[in-house]
Structure 1
Amino acid sequence: MELVISIILCLASAVAGHRPIHNVLNYGAMGDGNTDDTQAFLKTWKAACGDHNGSVLLVTGKGTRKYLLGKIEFTGPCLSDVNFQIDGELVAPNKLWTNEIDTWIQFRNVPGISVYGHGSIDGRGFIWWNCLSKNQCRYAPYTMEFMGCNGLKVNGLSFKDSPGKHLVVYKSNDSILTGLHITAPEDSPNTDGILISDSQHVIITQSTIGVGDDCIAIGPRCYDVNVSNINCGPGHGISIGSLGENGAEDIVEHIHVSDCNISNTLTGVRIKTWQGGAGHAKFLSYSNINFNSVRGSIIVLDQYYCPHSTCPNKTGNVAISDVSYKGLHGSSTSDVAIKLACSSSVPCHGITMDEVSFFSTNANHPLLSYCINAVGSSTGNVRPDVPCLQR
């Protein structure tokens, strides 16, 4: 899989070398970190998107360029595929600029878009987190979002300090995200590294993510998402969900997480659903994952997800089935390393564990498991023991 991804990205780079180049500096961008370059970027995009020959939109980093951008939307479809090369630094306005659910940099309806480079994207989230902590803001914007961008490729970029989620992929099938570096303070609220929603055939690999919420969140209506070779932490681990909010019928299938390192996170790998929801999450697998000093439970199946102080009891839930855990090892600072909290009305089925072993960071404190309304089996060394899984 990694070899195939490398070949695809190398071919894309080679093709880019023979494309017409539209440099933002030639369209009026200053890149001094003080001048608003939004209109210059839009002019460059218009030229690149309207080029029949398959162009490169270049955000040069020469001379340590820093580009101040306001809210900006790059819309398609374009006349040919566009390569968006970011080698400079993009910085958000250092002010509160919206009161709504919003995104700072958005790509909409641009199939085949490739966004890559050695550049960085700074969301300047501190002012937003302070506003949220004082309950003076309801929302904080995402940093970058792709909507309707089938065949998307994002490679090599660094993201930091997003006000809200860093990178969102929505209704964009056949996407590859690789070589990303995403960071935000551990206490920054709702700063997920990557959120995938309503998308199929997605690959996320070879990236380092340390944020204040989920390193990677896989939302509703996702199919065939493969996550591998991720270094995650700090943050809340790698999550599926939440699903079924406000009674929604959500479906998630064929999600595979493998060969990852998760350290100093709130949880490890988690599936979370709301009471009262409907639909299903099935054919989910976790393999060859190492954990270090996870503060809560490492494995979490939570059909009673409630991020508030209280949530009403409701019947019905998103059905969880055919979930496998194989080759998971590491340490927890919590009492309960494995938590399977499944619904009495819609129990979890087909849960399997094979060679899953965790130990406490406190040598004198044995780890426990919690299991309710879950049916499945365990083989090999499973520690702590999970009584509801047959051996």
Structure 2
Amino acid sequence: MVDGSNLEMNFQGYLKATAKLSRYGSGTGWVEFGWLERLTLTGGGTFDGQGAKAWPYNNCTNDSKCKLLPTNVKFVAMNQTVVQGITSLNSKFFHIALVECKNFKGTKIKISAPADSPNTDGIHVERSSSVYISQSLIGTGDDCISIGQGNSQVTITRIRCGPGHGISVGSLGRYEDEGDVSGLVVRDCAISGTMNGIRIKTWANSPGSSAATNMTFENIVMNNVTNPIIIDQSYCPFSSCISTEPSKVKLSDIYFKQIRGTSSSAVAVALECSKGIPCQNIYLENVHLELSSGEKQATSSCKNVRARYIGEQIPPPCA
């Protein structure tokens, strides 16, 4: 961990993490920067987490109280950070994580891990504001980019995503006192061969109420994506979940514009909202998603949503 101000780091070469999990605490960063003003990290170097030796010990899909493996590079409580040209390879857990950061700019970042590597989110953002991520190539075993709780004014542009689980908001609503998400813009991205394209996911049985609002997803190309547009307010990553109460996370003022490409599943647009707090003001404008197989036509699925449609709509809107 490095503390201070006005640090310029030119990181070159190849840095390998130890594979001994006893050397890390739960949820820590292998390389961690904290409480810094005006850090610039450049140089084109590679952070190799050697995750393949650790992934067999990731049991988070079966144990909600699992020990979190280390993140490759973590930024905590940073302000005015610039990260450019670095590579993160085979992280044990998340590749890059931003927690309580302000004014972060990340460009020309490369992130790589196999499609079956567990919980290897490319870039995770939480409780942060004024974040800009662009011109980056991300292929991993989980979300290419995940937007957690408490974020505002996050812009994601010119990302090439795949393999992985797409670009996600959430999961939201798992814990009490989560912060709202607002002012997210995702535009000019290409998503290929992923499980999801654009996904918003919230937990059922959420203990507190929060909101995700004023979010725009625009000019995004999907290539053979299983769920190109999906809202899932009954999210459960474990082998089984018992849902007794609907999600209390309010979703509103969400715009899907100029989304085009192909879906590998029959349902290309799934808007599955909470029956406790139905989604409001969901806009779909000029959506064109064909089936990858070229057979018949893709379909839409909707629950508890007030959607508005503008321009071309393939698949057709829900009845």
Q: Which residue of the other structure, out of 289, 301, 319, is the alignment partner of 2:231?
A: 301
Structure 2 residue 16 is the aligned partner of structure 1 residue 91: yes
Corresponding residue for residue 179 of structure 1: 108
Q: Which residue of the other structure, out of 100, 112, 118, is the alignment partner of 2:44?
A: 118
Structure 2 residue 154 is the aligned partner of structure 1 residue 215: no
Look up the equivalent residue of 2:57 and give its one-letter code. Answer: C
Q: Which one has the largest radius of gyration?
A: 1
Q: Which residue of the other structure, out of 353, 360, 363, is the alignment partner of 2:284?
A: 353
Take 1:387 and 1:335, find their aligned partners in 2: how far apart are those partners? Answer: 14
Take 2:126 and 2:42, find their aligned partners in 1: how far apart are those partners? Answer: 21
Take 1:286 and 1:213, find their aligned partners in 2: how far apart are those partners? Answer: 19
Give the Å deviation of 1:303: 1.1
Look up the equivalent residue of 2:164 and give its one-letter code. Answer: G
- Say which SS state the counterpart of residue 111 (structure 1) adopts: strand
Corresponding residue for residue 143 of structure 1: 72
Look up the equivalent residue of 2:258 and give its one-letter code. Answer: G
CA deviation map 1:179-211 (0-9, x unaligned): 000000000000000001111111000000000
- Say which SS state the counterpart of residue 245 (structure 1) adopts: coil
Give the Å deviation of 1:226: 0.3
How has the CA–CA distance of structure 1 residues 169 and 205 changed in structure 2, closer, same or farther, with 3 Å as cutoff?
same
Take 1:133 and 1:175, find their aligned partners in 2: how far apart are those partners? Answer: 32
Corresponding residue for residue 369 of structure 1: 300
- Say which SS state the counterpart of residue 38 (structure 2) adopts: coil
How has the CA–CA distance of structure 1 residues 311 and 178 changed in structure 2, closer, same or farther, with 3 Å as cutoff?
farther
Check the 8 A contact 2:166/2:194 in 1, yes or no.
yes
Corresponding residue for residue 266 of structure 1: 195
Corresponding residue for residue 288 of structure 1: 219
Give the Å deviation of 1:88: 1.4
Take 2:85 and 2:251, find their aligned partners in 1: how far apart are those partners? Answer: 35
- Say which SS state the counterpart of residue 224 (structure 1) adopts: strand
Which runs of 5 or more structure 1 residues have no equivalent in the other structure?
Answer: 1-72
Query: Taking every aligned residue pair, what percent have the same amino acid on both sides?
Result: 35
Check the 8 A contact 1:300/1:339 in 2, yes or no.
yes
Residue correspondence of structure 1 range 61-100 to structure 2 within 5 A = 73-74=1-2, 76-78=3-5, 81-96=6-21, 97-98=23-24, 100=26
Give the Å deviation of 1:160: 0.4
Give the Å deviation of 1:312: 2.4
Take 2:209 and 2:192, find their aligned partners in 1: how far apart are those partners? Answer: 32
Look up the equivalent residue of 1:368 and give its one-letter code. Answer: T
Take 1:234 and 1:299, find their aligned partners in 2: how far apart are those partners? Answer: 16
Is the strand fraction higher in 1 or 2?
A: 2
Check the 8 A contact 1:154/1:176 in 2, yes or no.
yes
Take 1:122 and 1:108, find their aligned partners in 2: how far apart are those partners? Answer: 20
Q: Which residue of the other structure, out of 128, 132, 139, is the alignment partner of 1:203?
A: 132
Structure 2 residue 82 is the aligned partner of structure 1 residue 157: no
Which runs of 5 or more structure 2 residues have no equivalent in the other structure?
Answer: none
Check the 8 A contact 2:151/2:179 in 1, yes or no.
no
Take 1:292 and 1:196, find their aligned partners in 2: how far apart are those partners? Answer: 25
Check the 8 A contact 1:325/1:354 in 2, yes or no.
yes
Check the 8 A contact 2:15/2:47 in 1, yes or no.
yes
Look up the equivalent residue of 1:300 and give its one-letter code. Answer: I
Check the 8 A contact 1:244/1:250 in 2, yes or no.
no
- Say which SS state the counterpart of residue 82 (structure 1) adopts: strand
Take 1:301 and 1:321, find their aligned partners in 2: how far apart are those partners? Answer: 12
